[in-house]
Amino acid sequence: MATKLKGRDLLCLKDFSKEEILEIISFGDKLKMDSMVGKQEHYLEGKSVAMIFQKASTRTRVSFEVAAFELGAHALYLNANDMQLHRGETISDTAHVLSRYVAGIVARVFAHQDLIDLAANSDSPIINALSDLSHPCQILGDLMTIREKKGTLKGLRLAYVGDGNNVANSLLLGAARVGMNITIASPKGFEPREDIVKTATEIAKQSDSSVLVTNDPLVSVQDVDVVYTDVWASMGQEAEHEERVKVMRPFSLTADLMAHAKKDAIVLHCLPAHRGEEITDEVLDGPQSMVFDQAENRLHIQKAVLALLLG
């Protein structure tokens, strides 16, 4: 399988071109179709993948482990507390050693700098399975889902409502790359990082799309094709939960808010959902919700990422 992506790190979507993102999505589509007819190619036969998880996970861990298995690889789950990192070994030493053992390292970390340090010292590709800055694999799966449901990405309008977190950061970059128009609606003080917004805006100019950040959820969802939300308090922010709920209550994705989007708009949420907070049961379980198809596609896009970067 010839690809220019082999050997690349995947830390942030700004490092990937539109063509490269679409290549990953299209390969995810292929792998999904293959699985539906019982076809399975072991692109990573005999290889091992290290999975360093500083944060707990359901979808990311399971999808990466199953993806590695179905590609013929062995996934090594490494809880940070069980590694020498917990006893003071440096990230650089860890990267040097692990990269001599495994074909690639999947890392879910608190600080994005840890990923940068891993990549700087590893001879094997580093794949970002979530950091405080970005969540690129999530957004690749989201873009796959949107194209699957809408038939295209170019020119679509997406609204993200809620906390301007790592998911919002990566959505900005991913949507801008593929030519989608994106609006982020967050309370004052909870907007996405200014440098990410600036970079996404520059990318959007090249792809003939638009980026808007607003504090008004109604403005964001007007006549959009996709409405996206996420939890109001990410891991590590639990102490702020009560205060965040008070501030973000007007940004809850309700049926009333959805009524301002297009009638055929789809709803996305990267999960886990705090039902009754950032999204209501009526919306999450409603006919416009593609949340569980979105979750399934994490597996197929994870397989595509592993196969293309490590294969």
Per CATH, the number for 136-294 is 3.40.50.1370
Distance CA 226, CA 160 (A): 8
Using one digit for the tens of pLDDT, what is the confidence trace for 143-155?
Answer: 999 999 999 999 9
Q: Is the pTM of this model over 0.85?
A: yes
Domain 13-134+298-310: which CATH class?
alpha beta
Using one digit for the tens of pLDDT, what is the confidence trace for 213-249?
Answer: 999 999 999 999 999 999 998 766 778 888 999 999 9
Distance CA 55, CA 267 (A): 26
Using one digit for the tens of pLDDT, what is the confidence trace for 49-96?
Answer: 999 999 989 999 999 999 999 999 999 999 878 788 767 899 999 999
Domains 13-134+298-310 and 136-294 share a fold: yes
Write out the DSSP string of 131-164. Answer: -SS--HHHHHHHHHHHHHHHS--TT-EEEEES--
Residues marked as catalytic: 108, 135, 138, 230, 270, 298
Domain boundaries, the chain: 13-134+298-310, 136-294
Mean pLDDT across the chain: 96
